[in-house]
Structure formats: structure tokens, C-alpha cells
Structure 1
Amino acid sequence: MKVLIILTVFITGLIITVNCATYKNVIFMHGIFAGPSEDIELIAWIQKAHPGTNVTAINMFDNYKSLTPIWDQVHKIMPDVQKVMNSSPQGTILICFSQGGLVCRGLLSVLNHNVENFIALSSPLMGQYGDTRYLKYFFPNYVKSEIYKYFYSTGGQKWSVANYWNDPHHQQLYLKYSNFLAILNNQTFNPKSQEYKQNFLKLKNLVMIGGPDDEVITPWQSSHMDFYNANETVVNMRQQPWYINDWFGLKTLDNRKAIHIFTEPGVQHIHWYRTKAVFDKYILPFLT
């Protein structure tokens, strides 16, 4: 099974028809070193709040396979996501956790989609630069200040994490070697830049959720599309060149009042999708 589809069964076909017509299909993309089982509680909450909702959990690139280059993930997942979208003419909702948020950004750039709301849950949307436990486990011989020597190489880019590694001290190398994030942001030449931008602008709402106690996304404000400058000072999204120059549509979405940024303290990384308060306050309102 390439996708895991969970559909609440009701007593009569009439109720199923009514609910499926009322609630949009939801697609969940898991994070790094994980799989569709991440969203068991999330699915239960969705279906309790909106009975009959069709929730599709992407059952690909789980666990160690999540280290596959992100463009490979995007293109492999794309046909299955398109099928779900085609079955939901009233619109689709994406909930994407951690690295999954970048996979979803890729999908939203290459697909002529009908996604209305993209909910990015603690995702390194503008990249990662930190000595996290994941980095130490898989690359024990490197620290954040040195791993650019490997990540910013042809071989290094074969790892998903390297595709969005954004070293603020080595931006020229980032622009030269980053074969995902820099392209997605239209920071480097991309013959499909306008196509990517127009597809991204099909969104009705971009919802970005993160918090200061995450302990994995670094800086945690990357979940809000903020990022470090060369002094490792976090600069707000609206002061960054990708926003000011509207490279991929962020400013246009903001002018449309389509961007919603939420901060929730006290939530560690692996608890975002299993914290009911986060669901109630920031996800549930965007499921219709």
C-alpha cells in the first residue's frame, strides 16, 4: 500500500455522502525517521470533530528511507497525492510535520493542485542549522559549523537533511550546491520558477506552527520562515529577501492575508502532532 487511507464508516450511505461532501480530504505527511503511524491521534481528533473526513496518511519514505533526497520523495509521492486531490473537487488540506513540511512545499510547487490550506507543523521551512540529536546520531563526526564541507557537495546532497541545510556562514556554497531549498525558494536559477510560484499561490491559507521549546528545528523560527543572518541572529520573514522580493509568492500571500503564524511554548518536537491543545487552537479551525 503506497498510501494508508482511513475513512470513518457511518450507519447509512446517506450520512457518508453528506459528510464527505462537507469536509475536505486531508493528507498527512510524516516527518523524518517516522511514518504514517505518527498521526494516529491526529486522525482520531479530526474524525471526532468532523465525522466522515477522508484522511490519507502518506505511507512512503518512512524511517531511514526518509533520508532519501527530497525531490525524489516529491516525485514519487506526487501521483498518489494527485489521486487524492482528484477525488476531492471541493479542495484538499495538507497537514505536514517536520521534514514533511518541506516535502509538501515541493508538492505545492510542482503540482497544479487544489490544496486550500497548507498546515506546516514545526517544519524547517527555511532550512536547518543546528547541533540536534539527529545530526549527532547520523553524522557523529561533524558539528554544525563543519558539516557544510560534506553537505555542500554532490555526494552530500544525497541526504534529505543536506537538501535544506542552510548554513548562514557559507551562503555561496549553499546557493551553489543546495539542489532543493535554494531552488524551491527561487534563490538560484530555476527555469520553472514562475510555475512554482503560481502553483504555490493557489493556496488559500498558509498556516505555520512552531515554538521555542521544540529542541530540534533550529532556529525554531524557521517554522515561521524566519532565519539566521550571518551573525546567527534570527531575522523575521518580512525582513528577508525571499519575502521582500516575493521570490516564491510569500509576500503576495501575506498581502492577501493568507498567512497565519502561531507560536506555542512548552511543546517538544515529537509532541506537536499529539498535543490536543495544538490541534484545537491551530489545526481544527483550518480543516473546513
Structure 2
Amino acid sequence: QKYITLAGPQQGQYGIPPAAEKYVPGVTKDLAHDLFYNAAAQDHLSIAGYWNDPRYHDTYLKEVVFLPHYNNEVNTSDSARYKENFLRIKEMVALGSDGDDVINPWFSSMFDWYTYEEDFHQIDMTETIVYQQDLYGLQTLDKRGSLTRHTVPGLKHMDWLGKEVAFETVLSYLD
């Protein structure tokens, strides 16, 4: 079984993409936690389910109803099953682009993220809590050689659906 993910917000979203600005006019990423970290937003705005403000990690874990559960950052009755199912993947390919205009930061698609502190900075996947604690099996998959991360320079988010280089990149990973 091979799993290929195209520009997915693996570690979350921390930036308002232009396509979402019409739904949250005037909201900046510095203020978005006030909007997204509540039940109404979690029920009605998909971006809220991925919003991961590195300055408010505890609030993210408490309020966000999708990503922290999916990434096993909070313990649920499904946590063991999520990890077991993820580890059934024989090969995973994460594709992303530094030109992505939707996934912000773009490196979330590569499983990289930020430190959780006021003066945060980017860290590699191997330095994240999700990886170091192997919460859903990412470290296990990586250490057994089953994870490939591939950055295609300059692609916008929707380019994955029509650009030749995107098509060729995906094809190169298909058996």
C-alpha cells in the first residue's frame, strides 16, 4: 500500500490563504486564534480544524476538533487504532511546494513545523513532538525507510491538479 499526499496540511495551518480571506475578512494570523479556537468556528470553518498557532499550543490541543485528534496529539478512544492503521502504510510520499499559496506555512506539507513558544521558529519534522513521541507512527515509518518527502519548487496549490511537472512527479512514485 502506497499513500501519496499532495500539499496536505500535515502539521496544520498558520496563515490565511487568499481563497479564505473572503470568509474571514480582516483576520490576520496573529488574531485568528480568537476566531478559530471556539466551537462555532470548529463546526463551520474547515480551516479552523487545522489551525495550529504555535503561540497557543495548549488552546489548540483543547479547542481544535480535527487535527490534534487525527495526529494523536490528544488521547482518544481511537488513538491506538489511528496509529495501527497508519503503520499499515508500506510507503508514504509527501509532496509539497515552497510556492504553495494555500498551505501556510508550506512546509507543513513536509511534516515540518514551528517550535511552540512566543518567539517560534521553523523546525524539521524530526524535532516535532508528533515525530519525537511517535504519536501516530511517523517516526516509525521514517526510520523503517518508508517515508519520502519531496519538494517541487514554485508550484501553487492548484498546480497539483494541472501542471505537467506535478503530474510527472506523482507518476514517478507510482509503480
- TM-score, normalising length from structure 1? 0.57
Residue 253 (str. 1) matches residue 141 (str. 2): yes
Higher helix share: 1
Q: Distance in 2 between matches of 1:285 and 1:185?
A: 28
Contact 1:210–1:262 (Cα < 8 Å) also in 2: yes
Report the Cα offset of residue 215 of structure 1: 2.2
Gaps of 5+ in 2: none
Equivalent residue in structure 2 for 1:126, among 4, 11, 15: 11
Equivalent residue in structure 2 for 1:263, among 151, 157, 161: 151
Q: Which SS does the other structure have where 2:22 is aligned?
A: helix
Report the Cα offset of residue 135 of structure 1: 3.1
Query: How many equivalent residue pairs?
Result: 172
* Equivalent residue, structure 2, for 1:160: 46
Report the Cα offset of residue 157 of structure 1: 0.4
Percentage of identical aligned residues: 35
Q: Distance in 1 between matches of 2:171 and 2:156?
A: 20
Q: What per-residue deviation string (whole Å, max 9, x for no partner) do you get for residues 80-130 of structure 1? A: xxxxxxxxxxxxxxxxxxxxxxxxxxxxxxxxxxxx111111111110011
Q: Distance in 1 between matches of 2:78 and 2:149?
A: 28
* Equivalent residue, structure 2, for 1:188: 74
* Equivalent residue, structure 1, for 2:87: 201
Gaps of 5+ in 1: 1-115
Q: Distance in 1 between matches of 2:72 and 2:52?
A: 14
Residue 139 (str. 1) matches residue 24 (str. 2): yes
Equivalent residue in structure 2 for 1:240, among 128, 132, 143: 128
Contact 1:209–1:261 (Cα < 8 Å) also in 2: yes
Report the Cα offset of residue 131 of structure 1: 3.0
Relative contact order, higher structure (CA 8 A, sep 6+): 2
Superposition RMSD on alpha carbons, in Å? 1.3
Q: Distance in 2 between matches of 1:232 and 1:154?
A: 26
Q: Distance in 2 between matches of 1:258 and 1:187?
A: 22
Rg comparison, structure with higher value: 1
Contact 2:159–2:166 (Cα < 8 Å) also in 1: no
- TM-score, normalising length from structure 2? 0.92
Q: 1:219-234 counterparts in 2 under 5 A?
A: 219-229=105-115, 230=117, 231-234=119-122
